[in-house]
Amino acid sequence: MNNSSSSFNFSALPSSEIVDVSALSRLFADTTNSYKYLFFFFLIDILKRNDFDINLSISFQQIVVEMIANAWYPHNYFKLSFGTQDKLTEKLDSLNLELSEPVLKFTDTDKKLLRNTIEKQSLDDIVKFLTRYVPYRLLCPFLEQELKIENVDRGKGNKLDIAMPLIARKYFKDRRPLYCFNSVQYNQCNVLQINSDWAKYLKDNYAIVRGWASWEWLNYMQNKNPNIPNLVNKIFIPQRRGALQQQTQYWKTVLQKQSKTLCIYSGEELDIKNISLDHYIPWSFVAHDQLWNLIPVRKEINSSKSNNLPSDQYFEKFVHLQYIGLTTYYQEFSRRKFLNQVDSYLNDLNIDLDGLLDYQKLRNAYQITMQPLINLAEKQGFSTNWTY
């Protein structure tokens, strides 16, 4: 997919007689790293949290904290690439963030705890790095003619960045760039002042503008992660993970019909009073709760396995347990109820109904489906060869 703003018709953004919407639509043109996207998400999110206050001033420190918070889930949790030219991920990896359960289980929905954790870090270096260029260059689409009038060449070194604070202030009322700075001297800028007309426009059209920016961000990330499954659910903080009630009931039904079923990792007999469902390929890679990737294990084993990829030694046992589940459910329930349960198997494993009930065909389908996913997860940095 093309990651330039040409992939989105700016006429889809609400028009305005006051602010330059076409300039906004060019915000992400020719973008080669993540900074502009994360900066803009920071801007509209912090405006929303402050009810789009037209007098809002935002420090560079706040900018960086919000950018890191928006980048943490896709990079650190889901291990997505931001591109080879992107240095933000190196900065993220250098931070020593000790995160609590609400962050890891997606109940910190406004990222408050995540931001608080980030704020406790020494951020001087990363603040200097991330605010050296981005806040100034983001304004270019709003001041294209003014840059020409002032004889500023956008392509020559950091001359643009040095000149932008004065230009943004000079044309702030007439041309209405998105914001200006607290100083006209580049080396003294450390605060943004939002243009009141843009604050009103973003308030009136927040959902549409954020949807547009999310689409652009998705295009960019798909370009950098072309083979990663379910990417759309990984680029922002996910909603709280599901309770797996239906999937748990499926496996409890199977275990009740079987006289003795062993945990594939420990070899111990499974007790339906002490099981949890394990994502054989970690949820943080697949980002779904489809039954074909879930098996019952003892609760303590599930906690131990965490986000690791299991050793190949468990693969045959995994497929065999899935085969037991499928054949048991087929024998015990109507065809209609069985089909309702196995839809994800048929679609995701690319197998027909007869194949589900044939062990060798089922194994082959799993081999073809899972091995490429496991290889991709390994390349992304997920720990491999976990054993109990």
Per-residue pLDDT tens digits for 271-327: 998 899 999 999 888 888 899 999 999 989 988 898 899 999 999 999 999 999 999
Mean pLDDT value across residues 161-169: 94
For 359, residues 6+ apart whose C-beta sits below 8 A from its C-beta are 319, 320, 323
Specify the amino acid at residue 362. Answer: L
The 8-class DSSP code of residue 178 comes to S
- Tokens 């037991």 sit on residue: 324
How many CA atoms, within 13 angstroms, populate the side-chain half-sphere of residue 315? Answer: 16
Residue 152 one-letter amino acid: V
Q: How far is C-alpha 382 from the geometric centre of its chain's CA atoms?
A: 16
Q: Please report how many Cα atoms fall inside a 13 Å half-sphere around the Cα of residue 14, on the Cβ side.
A: 15
pLDDT exceeds cutoff 80 at 243: no
pLDDT attached to residue 4: 39
Domain residue spans in the chain? 5-233, 245-380
| Per-residue confidence (pLDDT) for residue 124, from 0 to 100 | 87
What letter represents residue 36's amino acid? Answer: K
pLDDT tens, 325-366? 999 999 999 999 999 899 999 988 989 999 999 999 999 999
> Where is 328: in which H helix or E strand?
helix 315-332
- The distance of Cα 40 from the centroid of its chain, to the nearest Å, equals 16
- Using CA atoms, how far apart are residues 136 and 29, in angstroms rounded to an integer? 15
Residue pLDDT, tens place only, 49-58: 898 998 888 9
3-state secondary structure of 58: strand
* Model pTM score: 0.75
